Amino acid sequence: MEDKNDKPGLLREVVDGATGIIGSYAATLTHLFRKPVTEQYPEYKRPMPARTRGRIILTRSPDGKERCVACYLCSGVCPVNCISMQSEEGPDSRRRAAWFRINFARCIYCGLCEEACPTLAIQLTPEFAFSKDSIEAFVYEKEDLLVDHGGKDPDYDFYAHAGVAAGRPKGEHIGEDEPVDVKSILP
Amino acid sequence: MLSILVGVLVMLVKMGLVLAVVFGLAAYMILLERKLLGRMQVRYGPNRVGIFGLLQPIADGLKMLLKEDIIPDGVDRRIFLIAPAIVAGTALFAFAVVPFGPDFTVFGVTIRQVIADANVGLLVIFGLSSLAVYGVALGGWTSDNKYSLLGGLRGAAQMISYELALGLSLVPVVMLSHSLSLSDIVAAQARLPFALLQPVAFAIFIVSALAETNRIPFDLPEAENELQAGYHTEYSGMRFALFFVGEYVNMILLGSITAVFFLGGWHGPFLPPIVWFMLKVLAVPVFLIWTRASLPRLRYDQLMAVGWKFLVPLGLVNILVTGAILAAGM
């Protein structure tokens, strides 16, 4: 009889329960008349952030030459070993990839190859929708990967900053000091 | 001789019509549910196949037909194959006693808009809905899977428990209309639907009918998050579709018997009777879908407590009060 201190009365419980149930019905009813927030994918393609990790490309330097110097760093860092290549020397005595192959069926789009690349050649693009009917079609050769632009960093030119004297003579690279004539600094 | 032939022909046409309409409605009920649920969750729902996704049920049906039909090792084959048919079949058979509209005459032949006006129609519906328990329980038991068995057991316990409350909620309806025939019950509501005369019975009926059709918040036999898919975990392809369609046929059946018992059947002003009947039939599934979007699932002991400790006693009290008022009125 006396222990009514914290137990709500029957009427109170009924009212609370009823308002709770009616409240949830009302909430769904109001949502029924809202405009859906769904993006209708094939009709509307949301612009993806520039750094989205999707399909991989091989970019070119501002002078239109291949950036890739076939250093094998991307291939070495790739956790699933989906990148393979063969280096060779081109006619302009630059290093380049004789062939370059990415198996997108294995690629996990981790972006480590892009991190490892010293020449900014290999880059991940926001393009994610390139499904195929056959698994062989996922093996992309150099011709499929190579694009004719600079990707995210169009102005960067590796051979302007570094590299052997294939493009420019010694001391001509950006940020490079004149070659020191060691005989001039002898005591 | 001729009259018998005409009678058989009319009967066949009626059965075909009812079957076609019920199956068509059940297929599009699935689409309606997905669409409505989608809009209530601020998304679109299926809209890819045909305009507004209207061909979605056909695509779903084709997919179900083309899927591999797996019968696991260790199942009791015969019962495994029969169980889905019991669920879908019992729901379909019950439509035989539902009156869809008033009698009308064509070429001197009076056509009744009911397949079989059994004078114990209410008992027929109850008998069939009790049989539906077999489909769920046997489907769960025969699958040779502990989750399915649990789902089937839960389903059997739940459906039998709520069958009682359902029966008790309909006793006042029978007391008021003095008949077990569904046509007479509709006729007794010509002036006032029983939902207004018997609000308590109507409430008990709706709640226990929700539990009978295994709909959220009472969908414990399926309970995806604890029982995988409950009693139909091991079913695939068209056999799963039969369970699935059976559930939706059940929703439409529930709409029809709600309309017949409480909403005044095909009675209504201005519009033709069949339109009124369809409107009332469709109102109930829409309410069930709305409920699915709104309420969370009950715990199993809560479900049983509501059924046995609340709905059954309330139904009994309601019968007593109704009886007292009727006796006082006489």
Which residues are CB-contacts of B199 (< 8 A; sequence separation ≥ 6)? none
pLDDT category of residue A123 using cuts at 50, 70 and 90: very high
Virtual torsion, Cα B241, B246, B251, B255, nearest 10 deg: 130
Q: Cα(A64)–Cα(A62) distance, rounded to whole angstroms? A: 5
Query: According to the model, what pLDDT value does residue A88 have?
Result: 92
Q: Cα(B253)–Cα(B67) distance, rounded to whole angstroms? A: 28
User: Pick from B36, B42, B294: which is nearest to A34 by CB?
Assistant: B42
Per-residue pLDDT tens over the stretch A132-147:
899 999 999 999 999 9
User: Pick from B39, B43, B290: which is nearest to A25 by CB?
Assistant: B290
Collapsing DSSP to helix, strand or coil, A57 comes out as strand
* pLDDT for residue A3 is more than 60: no
Other CB atoms within 10 Å distance of the CB of residue A24: 15
Per-position DSSP letters for A63-121, written without gaps between them: TSSB-----SHHHHH-TT--EEEEEEE-TTS-EEEEEEEEETTT-----HHHHH-SSS-
Which residues, listed in sequence order, are joined to residue B109 by a DSSP beta bridge? B106
Per-residue pLDDT tens over the stretch A63-108:
888 889 899 999 999 999 999 999 998 887 788 899 999 999 999 9
Contacts of B289 in chain A (CB under 8 A): none
Query: According to the model, what pLDDT value does residue A80 have?
Result: 94
User: Pick from A24, A29, A34: which is nearest to B295 by CB?
Assistant: A24
Q: Are B93 and B71 in contact (CB under 8 A)?
A: no
Query: According to the model, what pLDDT value does residue B273 have?
Result: 78
Amino acid at B210: L
pLDDT category of residue A122 using cuts at 50, 70 and 90: very high
Q: Cα(B202)–Cα(B186) distance, rounded to whole angstroms? A: 15
* pLDDT for residue A16 is more than 80: yes
Residue A36 forms contact with B (CB below 8 Å): yes
Residue A40 forms contact with B (CB below 8 Å): yes
User: Pick from A24, A35, A37: which is nearest to B294 by CB?
Assistant: A24
Q: Cα(A93)–Cα(A64) distance, rounded to whole angstroms? A: 16
Q: Cα(B204)–Cα(B167) distance, rounded to whole angstroms? A: 10
Mutate: best of A10, A13, A22, A28, partner B, most B CBs <10 A: A28
pLDDT tens, chain B, 330 aa long? 777 888 888 888 888 888 888 888 888 888 989 888 888 888 888 888 888 888 888 888 888 888 888 888 888 888 888 888 888 888 888 888 888 777 777 776 777 777 777 788 888 888 888 888 888 888 888 888 888 888 888 888 888 888 889 889 888 888 888 888 888 888 888 778 887 788 888 989 988 888 888 777 887 777 666 777 777 788 888 888 888 888 888 888 888 888 888 887 777 777 777 888 888 888 888 988 898 888 888 888 888 888 899 899 999 999 999 889 888 876
Measure B40 CA to nearest chain A CA, in Å: 4
- CB distance B44–A40 less than 8 Å? yes
Measure A84 CA to nearest chain B CA, in Å: 40
* pLDDT for residue A4 is more than 70: no
Whole-number mean pLDDT of chain A? 87
- CB distance A29–B44 less than 8 Å? no
ipTM of the complex model: 0.75
Q: Cα(B326)–Cα(B66) distance, rounded to whole angstroms? A: 58
DSSP state of A175: T
Mutate: best of A13, A19, A32, A34, partner B, most B CBs <10 A: A32
The residue among B83, B173, B71, B169 whose CA lies nearest residue B131 is B83
Query: According to the model, what pLDDT value does residue B76 have?
Result: 82
Of A182 and B118, the one with more pLDDT: A182
The residue among B232, B250, B229 whose CA lies nearest residue B241 is B232
Query: According to the model, what pLDDT value does residue A78 have?
Result: 94
Which pTM was predicted?
Answer: 0.76
Q: Which two tokens stand for residue B91?
A: 């729901």
- CB distance A38–B44 less than 8 Å? yes
Measure B277 CA to nearest chain A CA, in Å: 24
Q: Cα(B296)–Cα(B151) distance, rounded to whole angstroms? A: 18
- What chain B residue is nearest to A41 in terms of C-alpha separation? B48
Query: According to the model, what pLDDT value does residue A98 have?
Result: 93
Q: Cα(B266)–Cα(B113) distance, rounded to whole angstroms? A: 11
